[in-house]
Amino acid sequence: MNELINIIPNPDPLPVAPGWFQFLSYLTYFLHLLAVGIMFGTAVSMALGYFKGKKDDSWMPFAGRMSRILPFTIAFAVNLGVAPLLFLQALYGNFFYTASLLVGIPWLLIVVVLIIGYYSAYWLVFKNKDHAKPKPWLSVIISLILAWVGFMLVNVNTLMMTPHRWKSYYDHMNGLHLNVSETTLFPRYIFYLFLFLAIGGMFISLFYKIKDKFEESEKGFHFGSALSGYFAFLSVPAFALFLLVLPREINGVFLGGNGLWTVSALIFILGLFVTAFLAFKRKTTAALHVLVVDLIVFVFVRAHIRQLYLDPFKEKFSTLAQNTQYGVMVLFFIVLAAGLGVVAWILIKVAKEKEA
């Protein structure tokens, strides 16, 4: 253990108490989770829509609508990913940077492939305006790119929690390393993909529930509900598998070792079942409420899993700096409130004008 502690880089001090960063990272990660789910669900639905559109033209308006929504969803998924990553780096930067160094090349490739995927999404909107021709393969490529970004994030996240794997650095100093030997990697990744598709499907069904006058509204609503239902249901065994492959001292906490966390994990699983049931019953609003609460529970469960992984290395956690920055944090909250206020105000103003 001492040898492991020795190789963990020394942390920098925190400008405010760690609890604030935990709160901010949970809050923004929850928003990011929703945004990524919507983005990935939209991309996959677009691809499926185009494939179906090859045989049945009635799917083309649906695929076209998804392709028009996709660039917005990428913009917000990226944007909402910045904040949790920032707060994560404040808390666990020394673990995170080391992990990203080990996978340096594929990690940086995210930037290149995401630009390609993002531009391709815009290309579908601006160059394929009438959606006369299905673009299934380009849609698949965009979806794969987005899935790749998720895969890399799971790589870094699992690596940062397992310093005993860092010695592989000496075999891959160029950063051409993937954490594929980590048992939890694929169960965790597959669980996330399923959860994202459940969130994305929920978004699509909600979208068409509100926008029910489009020619494809009914089709889209049913598609979204089914996608959400199936993948919320599939997320249950995926999550169970993910829990089971965790190290015994960690999964034990969620499997009876600790009452609160066992109940939390059960609530999450139950929530997924209820979401799936309500989605299959086309009760979108109720399903949405359950899913949102369920995701909040999941954010805490996920954070606790990381906490349990990192607890043995507590002495390498950041401590509070001598020069604190509570005033700057208050300024951030003021700017955040004002910024969200401005956004809401301008959105309402535009909506009113368009209505008029």
Site residues for another protein, window 85-104 (CB under 8 A)? 86-87, 89-90, 93-94, 97-98, 100-102, 104
Q: Which is nearer to another protein, 266 or 338 (CB)?
A: 338
Nearest to 64 by CA among 216, 204, 198, 211: 216
Q: How far is the CB of 333 from another protein (least distance, A)?
A: 9
Q: How far is the CB of 126 from another protein (least distance, A)?
A: 8
Q: In this chain, which of 11, 136, 237, 252 binds another protein, going by CB under 8 A?
A: 11
How many of the other CB atoms lie within 10 Å of CB of 332?
12
Residues 66 and 70: their CA atoms lie apart, in Å, by 6
Q: Which is nearer to another protein, 14 or 246 (CB)?
A: 14
Q: Token pair 């698949």 is at which residue?
A: 140
Contact 273, 233 (CB under 8 A): yes
Site residues for another protein, window 311-350 (CB under 8 A)? 318, 321-323, 325, 327-329, 331-332, 335-336, 339-340, 342-343, 346-347, 349-350
Q: Which is nearer to another protein, 175 or 237 (CB)?
A: 175
Q: In this chain, which of 58, 119, 247, 281 binds another protein, going by CB under 8 A?
A: 119
Q: Residue 53 has which token pair?
A: 């559109």
Give the gyration radius of the chain's Cα atoms: 22
Q: Does 106 sit near another protein (CB under 8 A)?
A: no
Q: Does 173 sit near another protein (CB under 8 A)?
A: yes
Residues 271 and 264: their CA atoms lie apart, in Å, by 10
Q: Which stretch binds another protein (CB under 8 A): 162-170, 195-203, 223-231, 267-275?
A: 162-170
Neighbouring-strand partners of residue 320: 14
Contact 102, 168 (CB under 8 A): yes
Q: Does 76 sit near another protein (CB under 8 A)?
A: yes
DSSP string, 38-54: HHHHHHHHHHHHHHHHH
Q: In this chain, which of 62, 118, 231, 298 binds another protein, going by CB under 8 A?
A: 118
Q: Which is nearer to another protein, 104 or 237 (CB)?
A: 104
Residues 228 and 346: their CA atoms lie apart, in Å, by 32
Q: Does 72 sit near another protein (CB under 8 A)?
A: yes
Residues 286 and 183: their CA atoms lie apart, in Å, by 36
Q: Does 169 sit near another protein (CB under 8 A)?
A: yes
Q: Which residue type occupies 112? A: V
Residues 48 and 305: their CA atoms lie apart, in Å, by 34
Q: Which is nearer to another protein, 281 or 345 (CB)?
A: 345
Site residues for another protein, window 187-246 (CB under 8 A)? none
Residues 196 and 222: their CA atoms lie apart, in Å, by 18
Binding mask 250-279 for another protein (x = CB under 8 A): ------------------------------
